[in-house]
Structure 1
């Protein structure tokens, strides 16, 4: 078991360097994800660009999670993944955007109010399996292979 899909999303304002954010997201997800850029207005009416990288291929999704790196994966385990999983068996991860554009990954806590890239990982979990146990075991396996 592992993941069904992975999605990373960044919301950029009119003053953000969209090209740099695209490159950073591409660095994070690798070559095998579909990257889309959509311009529109934010809820408040200002110009906003949404950059999204998605894969629905299981093997690629696992690679996207692994690209977070050893330190970030250990942080997820240490903090406990259960609180990051919603009722749809999706694990939510936020990383600091200012670090991402420098080629670094750092997990952001819930109470941090900084610009972030938002990741969603659909956990491959079936009746009788606890999603938090499945993803914890998946992450531990990734760390052992490093």
Structure 2
């Protein structure tokens, strides 16, 4: 892959979660989550009943090691980061310095990473990134610098 990570690494971990209905293809979704994270990622798959009583499956996985976080970032197309920056980035960062966004599940299982804008009605892929920022640093500024750096790189994902 061409390019590297921006000089300041400002994402500490990435967590991915999908809540699938009984009619969804759990194996297909699990494979897509593994492909985004890394092939050796341990997925936690939990079956339960929804609030309304229907069966559902929760598929979760994380990247916590620095090299795994870098790999996940490289799995996103560069244009995605500009899209994220330009779609209410400040509203996506919570008080605990987590950046939250949702991906379109239908596109995700096809290998495409598409940001859900607004309130999507379908089950999304929920992604949570922990922003590395220290006292005196603004999490929004750190996230914007990091994402902007990623957006300007080229990888084979974009070619």
TM-score by length of 1: 0.91
Match of 1:87 among 81, 85, 95: 95
Task: Show the counterpart of 1:124.
Answer: 132
Task: Show the counterpart of 2:145.
Answer: 137
**Deviation (angstroms), 1:130:** 0.7
Contact 1:32 1:60 in 2 (8 A): no
Q: Specify whether residues 140 and 32 from structure 1 end up closer, same or farther in structure 2 by C-alpha distance, changes over 3 A only.
A: farther
Match of 1:4 among 12, 30, 33: 12
Q: Distance in 1 between matches of 2:70 and 2:134?
A: 17
Match of 2:108 among 100, 103, 109: 100
TM-score by length of 2: 0.84
Q: Secondary structure at the match of 1:138?
A: helix
Q: Secondary structure at the match of 1:98?
A: helix
Contact 2:78 2:153 in 1 (8 A): no
Q: Distance in 2 between matches of 1:81 and 1:60?
A: 23
Which structure 2 segments of 5+ residues have no match? 1-8, 155-159
Task: Show the counterpart of 2:27.
Answer: 19
**Deviation (angstroms), 1:65:** 3.1
The CA RMSD over aligned residues, in Å, is: 1.5
Q: Distance in 1 between matches of 2:28 and 2:120?
A: 23
Kindly tell me the number of residue pairs found equivalent between the two proteins: 146
Which structure 1 segments of 5+ residues have no match? none
Runs of 4+ in 1 over 4 A off after TM superposition: none
Q: Secondary structure at the match of 1:127?
A: coil
